[in-house]
Amino acid sequence: MKILIVDDEFIIRTGLCTVIDWEGLGMTLLPPAESAEEALERLADEQPDIVLTDIRMPGMDGIELAKEIKARRPDTEIVILTGYDDFGYARQALREGVTDYLLKTSGPEEIMMAAMKAKQNLLAKWETMKQEAAQGAALRNQGLEELLSAGGKRLAGSGTSADPARKWLEQAGVAKAGPDGALLPMRVLLVGASGWDDDRFAGIMLGAAESKLLELLPCVALRKSDRIIVVSQACEGWSHTSRLAGAVARVREALKCDIFAAAGEPVTAWAELARSYAEAESAYAYRLLLGDNGLVEAKDVLARRGGRTVCSAKEENELSALLMNSDATQLRNWTNGIVNEQLSDPQATPATLQAYLQSIVIAAHRWLDRTRDSGAEASASAPVIPFHVGIRLADELFKLLLSVLNAFHDRVSAGRYAYIHRAIAYIQHHLDRHLTLQQVAGFVHINPNHFSEMFKKETGQSFTEYVTRERMLRAANILKTTRMKISEVAGEAGYEDIKYFSQQFKKVMGCTPSEYRQM
């Protein structure tokens, strides 16, 4: 807090500066001024919070100085110090907003008390202003959230809780009326920032991005959770998109971080802001598909029809083979490949991508269950793949698949008849081919007769019964998830004779393949 002493008498100026410990009172003493005119010249640059001034000086007196200071800096506290016990002067000084009136004969204690009273007045004003600013910001933010919510149409008129937000947009130059009186276009953007390694600085990074956007665009901004809600003035056509993209790029360059922005369509009415916000929200969900940098407009992604939602039988077979082999590197490469393929699909949406990746997780756990002993307890339901901003989908999918791979190999490496588990996994991977008991026994290096006996003991089924049932289950899954011809399904289940395949299918499943598909 800064204090300025104004007096034309050198002795008084010097005495007031030296007799009182201003620093001890929590004040910074500015160089004293010899006249009211000098004090006014320095007012803008030095911005004193308290002015202690003589009342009678050559030229402009203390009353005129107080009046001029109040006109320029209304919150400045002024204490008048005079050698004249003149109550007329005192009344006039108080009318000009002077804090206190002291005689020059007053002791240091009285002057200190007057200065501290002025300081307390200022602190109280600042606290009130701080509270009012916080309350005003809260009202604006609340009004903006309500204006952007589904109830925005209800709040479109005046005299509602959204009024502070509307005034905020108007004062910021975002909401303007055109020649015909209608609002000029506005649009909502959602902006996310990432890329600083330390999560502790995430809030600072987002705040810095918000400040930079306010510098670059005619907009208002509201931070919410891990993103910034921006309402920006919008001109029509490509030029505005170019301006938004340029602003996003400049923020990224300035902060050395990743910036992703999703823009709703421009609107020209208060009631339509909620629609622009909803479009921006939907487009922001594409951040997982499009990456953490750049600008995406709602019209560019919301017309997508959607990609695949279920993995194919071929992919499921590939996955089974990878899980059966204890090679995490191969599994990682396969996972990266299928995720990248889906991300590059121009029709993929967040919902279809999530469904597709979840189908792979389910397929892995279904395979794990099939490789268990017939009497063994099934595994818990497949975990849900995480699907939110800040994750790398390929990494998350790989972790879930790796846990299945490890669970299988931990199981088959333990127990007296671990080779039965390896044999079951081998059977599952070769259901579409010719399979014999001798072939599978050779794979696990066990005598065929002994293998046949142990297989039935462990699974509760003979080798032939088990293979037939698993082939029918595979066929049923293909019938349920694809439109493949019955002859093609038979081939995938290891049968060349369609009639024989249909007979076996009905024997196991209780109906023909065609009937099963219709069901």
Q: Is 224 helix (H, G, I), strand (E, B) or coil?
A: strand
Distance of CA 216 to the CA centre of its chain: 21
Instruction: Quote the tokens at residue 300.
Output: 């560019």
Tell me the percentage of the chain whose pLDDT exceeds 70.
90
d(C-alpha 332, C-alpha 324), whole Å: 14
The vertex-249 CA angle with 251 and 264, nearest 5°, equals: 95
d(C-alpha 339, C-alpha 356), whole Å: 10
Tell me the average pLDDT across 250-257.
90
- Half-sphere exposure in the Cβ direction for 99 (13 Å, CA): 24
Q: Is 468 helix (H, G, I), strand (E, B) or coil?
A: helix
- Half-sphere exposure in the Cβ direction for 123 (13 Å, CA): 9
pLDDT in tens, 358-400: 999 999 998 888 777 544 454 557 899 988 877 889 999 999 9
d(C-alpha 7, C-alpha 35), whole Å: 6
Instruction: Quote the tokens at residue 150.
Output: 């589904």
pLDDT in tens, 284-320: 999 989 988 889 999 989 889 999 999 988 898 889 8
pTM: 0.61
Distance of CA 45 to the CA centre of its chain: 42
275 pLDDT band, cuts 50/70/90, is very high
Q: Mean pLDDT check: name the lowest of 133-137, 158-162, 177-181.
A: 158-162
Instruction: Quote the tokens at residue 37.
Output: 């005119």
For position 343, what pLDDT does the model report? Answer: 92
DSSP string across 14-79: HHHHHHS-TTTTT-EEPPPBSSHHHHHHHHHHH--SEEEEES--SSS-HHHHHHHHHHH-TT-EEE
Q: Where are the beta strands (DSSP E) in 291-439?
A: 294-297
Instruction: Quote the tokens at residue 260.
Output: 């992703």
d(C-alpha 506, C-alpha 491), whole Å: 16
Q: Is 402 helix (H, G, I), strand (E, B) or coil?
A: helix
Residue 343 near residue 388 (C-beta atoms within 8 A)? no
Instruction: Quote the tokens at residue 302.
Output: 């919301």
- Strands 50-54 and 2-6 come out as parallel
For position 373, what pLDDT does the model report? Answer: 55
Amino acid at 91: R
Q: What is the DSSP letter of 474?
A: H
The vertex-296 CA angle with 294 and 301, nearest 5°, equals: 145
Q: Which of 395, 461, 472 is nearest to 431 (CA)?
A: 472
Q: Is 444 helix (H, G, I), strand (E, B) or coil?
A: coil
pLDDT in tens, 420-468: 878 887 888 788 888 899 998 888 888 999 988 988 888 888 999 999 9
| Torsion angle, alpha carbons of 440, 445, 450, 453, to 10 | -40
Residue 158 has pLDDT above 70, yes or no: no
d(C-alpha 405, C-alpha 366), whole Å: 12
Domains and CATH numbers, the chain: 2-125 (3.40.50.2300), 182-301 (3.30.70.270), 313-518 (1.10.10.60)
Residue 179 has pLDDT above 80, yes or no: no
DSSP string across 251-280: HHHHHTSEEEEEEPPPBSSGGGHHHHHHHH
For position 136, what pLDDT does the model report? Answer: 63
Residue 490 has pLDDT above 60, yes or no: yes
Looking at per-residue pLDDT, the higher value among 29 and 132 belongs to 29
